[in-house]
Amino acid sequence: MKIKSADFVMSNSDVAKCPNEPLPEYAFIGRSNVGKSSLINMLTDKKNLAKTSGRPGKTQLINHFKINENWFLVDLPGYGYARVSKKDKKTFQKYITNYFLQRQQLVCSFILIDIRHKPQPIDLEFMQWMGENGIPFAIVFTKADKLKPLAIQRHVTDYLQHLLNEVWEEAPQYFITSSSKKTGRDELLDYIDAVNLEYFDASRNNPI
């Protein structure tokens, strides 16, 4: 899929105030600093569309970006950021949780995992929670440029094996990406294109 336009629409902390157009949307979630905002910039080919930082905790709101005038990418704050207070963490969690539970237009979430790291409880718990609540997701391994090809394969195989042993009967759909090298861009955009087509077909057949 070609990206013809990518525009920031709004930021807020209330799912009820998110854009109310019936367009499919894709959310990026994962630990702080894993590369969510960078991935949005890489996919849209816009360097500064989503704000990024070397310091964790940069993204603090639900951010909607409208793509090609007919679907949304959503940048979210990271979970597991140690430097915000416990109270702030709870507030983060509450509105992120509400977003996932209430957002009708959310067709797929991408859970980002730093490809260098071993499976972490916080990510596994989050996947478990998504599964229990029937919220579809795919895994996106990030920062693949930090490993050599053989190590990439080994890390991904180990990670998926861990998921199969501990959490799931079936491995989820996954992507290997690097925002700095643009790895995985075509695959992710093709996937989104296919899900968009399904969404628009279904809404044609079941108009509200």
Binding residues (CB under 5 A) for Mg ion: these are 36-37, 58-59
Interface mask (CB under 6 A) for ligand GTP, residues 52-71, using x and -? xxx-xxxx------------
Nearer Cβ to Mg ion (36/64): 36
Helix (H) or strand (E) holding 125, with range, is helix 121-132
Helices (DSSP H) in 30-120: which residue ranges?
36-44, 86-102
Applying CB under 6 A, among 63, 109, 142, 196 the residue interacting with ligand GTP is 142
Amino acid in position 75: D
Number of residues that bind ligand GTP (CB under 6 A): 23
Name the burial class of residue 27, with classes exposed (0-12), middle (13-18) and buried (19+) by CB atoms within 10 angstroms of its CB: buried
Question: Which range, of 13-21, 94-102, 140-148, 153-161, touches ligand GTP by CB under 6 A?
Answer: 140-148
Q: Beginning with the edge strand found earlier in the chain, give each strand of the sheet holding 62-67 in spatial order.
A: 6-12, 62-67, 71-75, 25-30, 106-114, 137-142, 174-176
Residue 143 interacting partner from ligand GTP, Mg ion, none (CB closer than 5 to 8 Å by kind)? ligand GTP
Burial of 54 (0-12, 13-18, 19+ CB in 10 A): exposed
| Residues in region 174-203 near ligand GTP by CB under 6 A | 178-180
Which of Mg ion, ligand GTP, none does 109 bind, CB closer than 5 to 8 A by kind?
A: none
Query: Least distance from C-beta 129 to ligand GTP, angstroms?
Result: 18
Of residues 56 and 131, the one with the C-beta less far from ligand GTP: 56
Return the ∠ at Cα 175 (arms to 73 and 94), rounded to 5°.
45
Q: How far is the CB of 202 from ligand GTP (least distance, A)?
A: 31
Closest to ligand GTP by CB, 25 vs 75, is: 75
Say how far apart CA 92 and CA 39 lie, in whole Å: 21
Cα–Cα distance, 114 to 127 (Å, whole number): 15
Please give the residue ranges that form the binding site for ligand GTP (CB under 6 A): 32-38, 52-54, 56-59, 77-78, 142-143, 145-146, 178-180
